[in-house]
Every structure is written in structure tokens, then in C-alpha cells.
Chains A and B, each alone.
Chain A
Amino acid sequence: MNSNIFDVSDVNFLYAAYDNNSQDVHALKDINIKIQKGDFVVILGRNGSGKSTLSRLLNALLIPQTGKVLVMGMDTADENNTWSIRSTAGMVFQNPDNQIIATTVEEDVAFGPENLGVEPGEIRKRVDDALATVGISHLKENAPHLLSGGQKQRVAIAGILAMKPQCIILDEATSMLDPVGRKEVMSILRKLNEEESITIVHITHHMDEAALAKRLIIVDNGKIVLDGKPREVFSKVSILKSFGLDVPQVTDLFYSLKQQGIDIKKLPLTVEEAFEIIDDLQKHTS
């Protein structure tokens, strides 16, 4: 049994020029990537690097001009697969206000399964379960436009959960949220990943969120330039900076200490790790 949920091979994607004065944009170049079931992947990259294009290829919103994208073995280029692919991999977008359509929270969450032709009794159950999972059962009769940003994104995630997907793709879904809203969404994602084994593909500009992933992929100029565990990727501070990216503050601090000759063996990602490194260091010097 193949354990890859996504299998992207030799993919190129071009946005065609819309008039004679402009040029085609080669958004993705020869991309090869496999994502395993149950993984928690964060994709980082500067604006215009191609990360959103990549995410849209994963649920057949875009079809590559060359190469192949397989979702659970289904080719996204075959239109007959489109609906099964979209119920396998649901997508949450940046602006919570653009993806909520109903006048109450529970109706909004029911929209997806209704379209899939699920039995009414089963829809009721799925909606209740999905709302409970993201922790907003008490808001089910509220009007979505009166919720906070973090709550709205949780409604959007519940709407996807009600379709029983194997994967959720989030395209900068936290970038319009405040720190509390971001934490809410991140803890829901971790819970879904750990307890329900849902594969997560999360695109973000926030390094603290990237540090929580199991796998971190950096896209630059249409190519995958780094791919590994967050700890490995974030240890390449100067390379990351050359891609217009950042590292967590403590990582940056210890990189700077290392540059200045302090004996630092590994770069920390969290305050706790940073504290331990200094604690060790001073025990050995004093």
C-alpha cells in the first residue's frame, strides 16, 4: 500500500501572459515532491515564490502544464477525479470572510456534506462532530460574520472536517489573525494531525508556526530549495536569510553568538532549549 497522499512529479506551471507587453510567469519549475499520509508539512517562501501555486495543484484547483500530480493515486488532470480529490484534500484560504457563505455557523459547516449528497441524519452528526472537534459547538447558531477571525477560520476548518477529508491544506490561513487566533488554529491543526491522523499542509510566513511542523519545505523562485525537519532547516540561518526568510528569534540569537566565537553546537528553536544551552555552557566555563 502506497503511503503517499500526494505525489508530485516533474511539475511545471506557467501563468500565461495576458497581453503582448508582459511575459509568462514560470511559477513552478520541475517540482518533485512526495507527502506521506499523516505528515504535518509547513511550506515557507517569500511572496511570489510559488508556494500558493503549489498548494493549488494539490487539490486540482490548478492543473500542471507538464508533469503529474497524484492525490491518493488519482491524477488531478483527469476531470473525473476532481470531486474525489477535493473531498480528500480540503482547502482553507487566507481571508476568513471570503469563504463563509451561510447565515449560521452550523449551516455553513453543513454546506460541504450537503453538496456531497450525504444523508441528512449523517450531516447532522458530522456537523456536530466537526464543531466539537474545533471547539465551537456553543457558537453553532451564531451568525458567522459576528465571530472573531480565529473563530471564523475554525468554522472554515469545521466545514472541511464535515466532508471527512484525509488532508487539510491551509494557504496562509493564519496571516489575517491576531496571535490568539493563530494559536487557536495551530492547536486545532496539531490535534487533528495527532488524534485523527489528518495530513496537514500549512503555508505561512510565521516562523514560530513552522517550528511546530514535522517537515518543513522552503520554496524559492519556483523551486524547492530546502526540505527537512524544522531543526535541520532552521540551522541554515544564512541560507534562509538569502531567500528573504527569517528564523525564530532565539535561533537568530544563538547563530549570532556562534558567529562571535561562542561554542554553540546546535541552534535552539524554543526559549526552553535556548535556556538549557546557556545553562550547560556556563556550568562548563565556571
Chain B
Amino acid sequence: MPIKIENLYYTYMNGGPFKKDALHDINLEIADGEFIGIIGHTGSGKSTLIQHLNGILKPTKGNVIINNINTMQKNLKELRSQVGIVFQYPEHQLFEETVKKDISFGLINQGLSQEEIDKRVISSLESVGLSDRILDKSPFELSGGQKRRTAIAGVVAMMPRILVLDEPTAGLDPKGRDEIFGYISKLHEDFNMTVILVSHSMEDIAKLTDRVIVMNEGTVFMDKPSSEVYADPKALEGIGLSAPQITYLMKRLKTIFPEINEKVLTVEAASEELIKQLNKRVH
């Protein structure tokens, strides 16, 4: 199993007066090529969980095993080349003089040849929709959306098998958001990359992912296919989340159209479903 998390517990500042239990008894298995959404309110343990995936945090108890590498082992070079994490506001981590140098940084550390590095820099820029004309620009003269995409390209260039993104579209406008999600979906399809997406946007998670893991107070509250997670908005509201507007509407419409499929998650699917139901009434 590519990602296997067994009985994971994590405590911040363990043994100190401010110790805080952040994760308890997490058990998860994730297969190659899955597109997973992680939702949960602030402090539910989402970020703590994803930082275990490449050994930034190590379990207080339990095991995290990625492609047969236990994150407790000392040498994590191989693990870090397999799991790429894009943190919140990744543009804050840009530091080099040019876009090219910034994206190359991880690749040089991996010991790749110059030829391979150049190739990957170009292809990673393309994969986030940026032109090679910006290669020699300073990352700091780019627009906010371009900076964000450059930072994501730096992680994508490492060609991780597992790509983890923590709120990759926070602060972007709707168009910028849709573009970034489009590029992420394409990486998922083209390279069968496993994608783990942390987001507060229920609409985006519903639209993009196959499976949703809902975190609450350091535990896995729900782990289901996307279409089923939202079937019970009350349960989500109970832990400070909500369902997409469409879900609420479809649930209410069930009182008018008992046979309506209330599990649809996107505007397109809802539109189709409604037209079907309205037409039935006419005939």
C-alpha cells in the first residue's frame, strides 16, 4: 500500500507544560493515483497530518509508511523526493534571484544533471501554465498568481509521486483558483500522481476529488467518496464545516421531487438533474 498510516498519535511539545495532543489514532490507507480532499476546521489536525507524509513531523506513537519507507528512519532523502508538499502561501518560500534558479534549487540538491534540470524547469513551468519568458525574471517582480504558480512549479519539478497541497488557492481570485485547480487535475491525470488537497472550499473539494477525509479534533471523522460525504450536511455543520450550496438546495428539492438525485455536487450536474425532473412534471 503506497500510503499507510497506522495508529498515528502526535503530541506537540510532548512532555512540556504546553503539550497539546494534535492527532489520535489515525488509520488511513491511500492507493496510487487517488485524488483525495482533506477538510476540517482550523485546529482539526489537517496540517499536522500532512506534515507526517514526508517526515517533517514524526509520530509520537504509531507508524507512517510511504512506499515501504517508514518515516521514522533517519535517511529521508528518498522519501522527500517521492512526496512533494506545497505549503500554504508557498510564494513566501521563493528566495532565489531568478525563477530558473528557484525552481532548480531542489533539483540540484537531488544531484540531477544540468541537462535534466533544464528540461524539468521548463516542463514544470508549462505544467502550471507559465511561459519560459519569465525564467530570468526575479520571482519578486511577478504578480501574486504567478508567484504562487512558480512556487508550485518548484515542487512539481521534483516529479513527486505524491503531491500534497495545503490551501493552494487561498487569496486568489476565482479565475486564478480555477486555473491552479485545472493544472493540478492535469498533473493527476497525466502522471497518475497521487494528489492530496487540503482546502476550506467545500465546492472545490466536491468538484475535484474522488474521496474526502474529514478531520475533527485530531481524528478522522469521516472517510468516504465525495458524493457521500456531503449527504449529511448536519454532521458536517456539527464540526464547524458546511456542504456546498448545491447540496443544500438539492436536499430541499427532495420534498418537491422525491426521486431527485440529491447526491450531485456540481452546478452542471444539478442543472441536468433539475431539467430532467421539471420535464417529468410537464409530461
Interface string of B21-53 (1 = CB under 8 A from A): 000000000000000000001110000000000
Q: A257-B274, A262-B275 are in contact. Are A252 and B252 (CB under 8 A)?
A: no
Segment 171-208 of A: residues with Cβ below 8 Å from B: 172, 175-181, 205, 207-208
* Option from A45, A250, A282, A285 in Cβ contact (under 8 Å) with B249: A250
Q: Mark B190-202 against chain A: 1 for CB-CB distance below 8 A, else 0.
A: 0000000000101
Q: Is A36 interfacial (CB 8 A cutoff)?
A: no
Binds A, one of B8-16, B118-126, B141-149: B141-149
Please, how many angstroms separate the alpha-carbon atoms of A169 and B121 in the complex? Answer: 41
Contact pattern, A 140-176, Cβ under 8 Å of B = 1, otherwise 0: 0000000011100000000000000000000010011
A178 with B244: in contact, given A252-B267, A260-B275 (CB under 8 Å)? no
Question: What is the CA–CA distance of A47 and B176 in the complex, to the nearest angstrom?
Answer: 8
Q: Chain B: how many interface residues by the 8 Å CB criterion?
A: 38
Q: A196 to B199, alpha carbons, bound, how many Å?
A: 35
Q: Which of A30-68 contact B (CB under 8 A)?
A: 45-48
Q: A252-B267, A253-B271, A281-B278 are contacts. A46–B175 as well, Cβ < 8 Å?
A: yes
Closest B residue by C-beta to A279: B256
Against A, the Cβ 8 Å flags (1 = close, 0 = not) of B246-283 are: 10110011001100000000011011001100100110
Given contacts A180-B41, A262-B278, whether A249 and B174 have CB atoms under 8 Å apart is no
A250 to B248, CA, bound (A): 10
Query: B42 contacts which of A46, A172, A180 (Cβ < 8 Å)?
Result: A180
Alpha-carbon distance between A249 and B244 when the two chains are bound, in angstroms: 8
> Which among B59-67, B106-114, B165-173 touches the partner chain?
B165-173
Contact partners of A282 in chain B: CB under 8 A? 256-257, 278, 281
Contacting A at CB under 8 A, from B137-181, are 141, 143-145, 170-176
A244 at the interface (CB under 8 A from B): yes
Asked if residues A172 and B41 are in contact (CB atoms below 8 Å), the reply is no
Residues facing B in A249-286 (CB within 8 A) are 249-250, 252-253, 256-257, 260, 262, 271, 274-275, 278-279, 281-282, 285-286
Interface centre among A45, A172, A248, A275 (most CB of B within 10 A): A275
Q: Is B222 an interface residue (CB 8 A)?
A: no
B241 near A: Cβ within 8 Å? yes
Say which residue of A148, A150, A248, A285 sits within 8 Å of B278 (CB atoms): A285
- When A149-B42, A271-B245 are in contact, do A22 and B253 touch as well, CB less than 8 Å? no
Q: Does B217 contact A (CB under 8 A)?
A: no
Chain B interfacial positions (CB closer than 8 Å to A):
41-43, 141, 143-145, 170-176, 200, 202-203, 240-242, 244-246, 248-249, 252-253, 256-257, 267-268, 270-271, 274-275, 278, 281-282
Other contacts beyond A245-B175, A249-B267: 7, CB < 8 A: A178-B42, A178-B240, A179-B202, A205-B172, A208-B245, A278-B256, A281-B278
Q: List 16 A-B contacts (CB under 8 A).
A: A45-B173, A148-B43, A175-B170, A178-B42, A179-B41, A179-B202, A179-B242, A207-B174, A244-B176, A249-B267, A250-B245, A253-B246, A256-B267, A271-B252, A285-B278, A285-B281
Cβ-closest 3 pairs across A and B:
A244-B175, A246-B174, A249-B245
